[in-house]
């Protein structure tokens, strides 16, 4: 499937996946929550924590800052940031109560406090200019990403940073083909090993299709600039398969 032009991509993604996003994904993550972290460790051949460290190395935080982690899942980001800087106020938002339950247990086991909000990240229940840093990891393929980037922009303080990490669509078609073959094998293996339920197994095709219609690193940078972010910088690893974006909400210009 060749992705449609950038200008219509969000509308096409919505048309293809809107029903899955609204009706199926929450059940998938309820099924996956108890083994989510272990399955990712296996699927990434043990590199999961290394990917996280690579992403976290692009995020700078200072004591007292307020951080919002969107689609926080099992709180990998909040725990990593608090491990580095305990004097942060960390908020986690996710639509899945099951994923956040696991995340809250993980944080509590480390004596960390993460404020949890259960809800849809397309509409953030926070005032304008509230956060120093907003993060989003491994969830954008399930989102109207432009809309979420706009919401993140709204709740950031001027000068605040949006940090994004996800599997992206590699720009090279050979890499892309190999990548999808690997992911198909991974989904089959983890489904078998962790005894995924029907909700997760039925969505195997969706996970690949969603990536095929997703953005390359450069395309995602263009979307972020279009939203209004400045100093948009992207790093990729594994031939563009995983990307880390950093984008700044500009200070208002003086009259």
Which residues are at the interface with ligand SAM (CB under 6 A)?
25, 29, 71-74, 76, 94-96, 99, 120-122, 137-139, 142-143
CB-wise, 156 or 167, nearer to ligand SAM? 167
Q: 66 or 144, CB closer to ligand SAM?
A: 144
Nearer to ligand SAM, 139 or 168 (CB): 139
Dihedral pair phi/psi, residue 65, rounded to 5° = -75, 155
Which lies closer to ligand SAM via its Cβ, residue 22 or residue 230?
Answer: 22
- According to DSSP, the residues that pair with 69 across neighbouring strands are 92, 135
Minimum separation from the CB atom of position 72 to ligand SAM (A): 6
Task: Give the tokens for residue 226.
Answer: 């279009």
Q: How far is the CB of 25 from ligand SAM (least distance, A)?
A: 5
Task: Give the tokens for residue 142.
Answer: 């399930």
**Smallest gap from residue 173 Cβ to ligand SAM (A):** 25
Least distance in angstroms from the C-beta of 30 to ligand SAM: 9
Spatial separation of the C-alpha atoms in residues 79 and 96, rounded to whole Å: 18
**Considering beta carbons, is residue 68 or 72 the nearer one to ligand SAM?**
72
* Least gap, CB of 127 to ligand SAM (angstroms): 19
Task: State the Cα–Cα distance between residues 51 and 54, nearest whole angstrom.
Answer: 5
Q: What angle in degrees, to the nearest 10, is found between the helix axes of 36-43 and 25-32?
A: 90
CA dihedral 142, 67, 163, 18 (to 10 degrees): 10
Q: Which is nearer to ligand SAM, 143 or 232 (CB)?
A: 143
Q: Which residue is nearest to ligand SAM (CB)?
A: 73
DSSP track, 3-47:
PPPHHHHHHHHHHHHHHHHHHTHHHHHHHHGGGHHHHHHHHTTT-
- Least distance (Å) between residue 99 CB and ligand SAM: 4
Backbone dihedral angles phi then psi of residue 50, each to the nearest 5 degrees = -70, -40
């Amino acid at each position: 499937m060749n992705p449609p032009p950038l200008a219509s991509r969000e509308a096409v993604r919505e048309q293809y996946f809107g029903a899955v996003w609204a009706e199926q994904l929450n059940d998938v993550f309820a099924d996956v929550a108890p083994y989510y972290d272990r399955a990712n460790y296996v699927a990434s051949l043990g590199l999961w924590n290394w990917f996280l460290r690579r992403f976290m190395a692009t995020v700078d935080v200072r004591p007292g800052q307020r951080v919002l982690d969107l689609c926080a899942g099992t709180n990998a980001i909040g725990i990593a940031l608090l491990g580095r800087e305990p004097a942060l106020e960390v908020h986690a938002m996710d639509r899945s109560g099951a994923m956040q339950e696991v995340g809250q247990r993980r944080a509590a086991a480390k004596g960390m406090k993460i404020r949890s909000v259960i809800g849809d990240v397309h509409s953030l229940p926070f005032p304008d200019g509230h956060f120093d840093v907003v993060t989003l990891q491994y969830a954008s393929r399930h989102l109207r990403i432009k809309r979420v980037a706009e919401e993140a922009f709204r709740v950031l303080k001027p000068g605040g940073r949006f940090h994004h990490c996800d599997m992206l669509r590699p720009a090279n078609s050979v890499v892309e083909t190999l990548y999808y073959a690997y992911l198909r094998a991974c989904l089959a293996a983890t489904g078998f090993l962790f005894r995924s339920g029907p909700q997760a197994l039925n969505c195997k095709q969706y996970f690949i299709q969603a990536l095929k219609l997703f953005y390359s690193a450069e395309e995602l940078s263009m979307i972020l600039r279009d939203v209004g972010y400045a100093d948009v910088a992207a790093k990729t690893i594994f031939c563009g398969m995983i990307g880390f974006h950093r984008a700044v909400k500009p200070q208002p210009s003086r009259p």
